[in-house]
Amino acid sequence: MLRVARGNGYSNFSTFVDSLKSDVPESEHERFGSFLPKDITTANLYHAQLSSRRRVEMLRQFADLTGCVFSELIDICLARGAVTFSKKRASLYRQGITIPLSELIPLNEVPVCPLCLKENGYGRQIWHFRSYTACHYHRTSLLSSCHCGATLSMSEQDFSETCHVCGDSLSDQVTKASETEIMVSSWLAGEPSEQLPQVADSHRWGLLHWYKLYVLPDSDKPGTQFLSYFKAWPEVLFEKLKADYAKASELSVITPNEMTFKGVFGELLMLSCRLPGSALADNIVLRDIVRFLSDEVIENGSPIGELAINSIEAAILLNTTTEQIASLYEQGILQTRIRLKNSEITTLTSPIFRLADVLCCWLTSYQSDTSNRRYLVSRW
Ligand SMILES: [Zn+2]
Ligand SMILES: [Zn+2]
């Protein structure tokens, strides 16, 4: 919207809103104001309290008043995404790309690239996302404060490359970003990279989401480590899984066939199942987990195959639903490790299957176009 205001020749957002309002009938002012407040930081399409129908109506009105094409405007707006990432994390959807909601920075904290502001007169939407830390066009770090101490943000700056407090030029204050930062940021912006996995844009955000949950749960900015981690992929994950199993068997007083998958590998499958897709064709994390397990259990006959897994984990490995798992059990295609009291699979979280049985079931009876053994041999 800042861009639309700028395109209409305004240098200040609230003047732009006032002028739009003057074209709207008096009775509609309040309604319009709740959609487009003068302070852009309080305008929030994603969280808007308005019903979706009202939001669409307002957006249409906005397009009419400003001479924008409605469908183009809709296309660049952030919308609530229909899918969730692992651990039921909500998503945002924009122009075919799904991004975890946790990546979104509050508008009054969005850092800027003064060089982009100077050249284009508007900010980029990708600055709104936490893990994009360097402008990949100018190879400089995004700026979040001025040397006078003022906090910079996309909303405060409107379209200007000079500080909103002291008036100094911000272009003189930019610093060169590290190669790693530039590489990760440009990869997130959809550019090809030799060091990082070549996957669809949504899955790039998915890998970052997974990395933050599974590898570095306490770090806000994964930066350098993220790049070196994926340079060593998938061996780095395989080593970790082997170490997890060795440690669990060492500490365990019970035999391998009484140990559970969850007890050994924690939430590995739950964290890896939606990045945001779950088909092995797209989800390289899940693909390499299945590859590891299938090599260890089927080819090497490792005792890992004796681990007990529950219906949810089995459904993730077979890329299906827990209802389908129950039906495979009822049809006698998938056996349980213990005899169940009746033919009903009662609790989804009870570890009633053997990992080896689930993997064999997948290999012999349950491969599909998007989830099959062929994918296990491709890198990315
Ligand atoms: Zn820039
Ligand atoms: Zn300043």
pLDDT band at 145 (very low <50, low <70, confident <90, very high): very high
Same domain, 360 and 249: yes
Mean pLDDT of 269-294: 93
What is the CA(57)–ligand 2 centre distance, in A? 39
Domain carrying residue 131 = 107-191
Read off the pLDDT of residues 316-354 as tens digits, 9 standing for 90 and up. Answer: 998 889 999 988 888 888 888 888 776 556 688 889 999
Read off the pLDDT of residues 307-318 as tens digits, 9 standing for 90 and up. Answer: 999 999 999 998
In a domain, 19, yes or no: yes
Tell me which residue has tokens 């041999």: 377
Same domain, 65 and 154: no
Same domain, 181 and 312: no
Between residues 106 and 366, which one has the greater pLDDT? 106
What pLDDT, on a 0 to 100 scale, did the predictor assign at position 315? 93
Closest ligand to 122 CA? Answer: 1
Tell me which residue has tokens 């990082």: 196
Closest ligand to 169 CA? Answer: 2
Same domain, 265 and 343: yes
In a domain, 327, yes or no: yes
* Number of folded domains that form the chain: 3
Q: In whole angstroms, what is the distance from residue 312 CA to residue 89 CA?
A: 17
**What are the C-alpha distances in Å from 113 to residues 84, 137, 154, 185, 380?**
30, 10, 9, 13, 32
% the chain with pLDDT above 90: 46
pLDDT band at 243 (very low <50, low <70, confident <90, very high): very high
pLDDT over 60 (residue 190): yes
Mean pLDDT of 211-215: 92
This prediction has a pTM of: 0.82
Q: How many residues does the chain have?
A: 380
What is the CA(148)–ligand 2 centre distance, in A? 4
Kind plus residue range of the DSSP H or E element containing 91: strand 91-94
Helices (H), the chain: 2-7, 13-22, 29-35, 52-66, 70-76, 114-120, 154-157, 179-188, 201-210, 223-231, 235-251, 261-265, 268-272, 284-294, 311-317, 322-330, 355-365
In a domain, 169, yes or no: yes
What is the CA(169)–ligand 2 centre distance, in A? 8
Mean pLDDT of 129-151: 94
What pLDDT, on a 0 to 100 scale, did the predictor assign at position 70? 72
Same domain, 126 and 183: yes
pLDDT band at 356 (very low <50, low <70, confident <90, very high): very high
What is the CA(108)–ligand 2 centre distance, in A? 16
What is the CA(171)–ligand 2 centre distance, in A? 12
The one-character DSSP state at 142 is P
Closest ligand to 140 CA? Answer: 1
What is the CA(119)–ligand 2 centre distance, in A? 20
What pLDDT, on a 0 to 100 scale, did the predictor assign at position 346? 67
Read off the pLDDT of residues 43-92 as tens digits, 9 standing for 90 and up. Answer: 445 555 567 777 777 777 777 777 777 777 666 677 777 788 998 888 88
What is the CA(136)–ligand 2 centre distance, in A? 24
Same domain, 176 and 254: no
What pLDDT, on a 0 to 100 scale, did the predictor assign at position 240? 97
Q: Are 239 and 53 in contact (CB under 8 A)?
A: no
What pLDDT, on a 0 to 100 scale, did the predictor assign at position 273? 94
Q: How far is residue 344 CA from its own chain's centroid?
A: 36
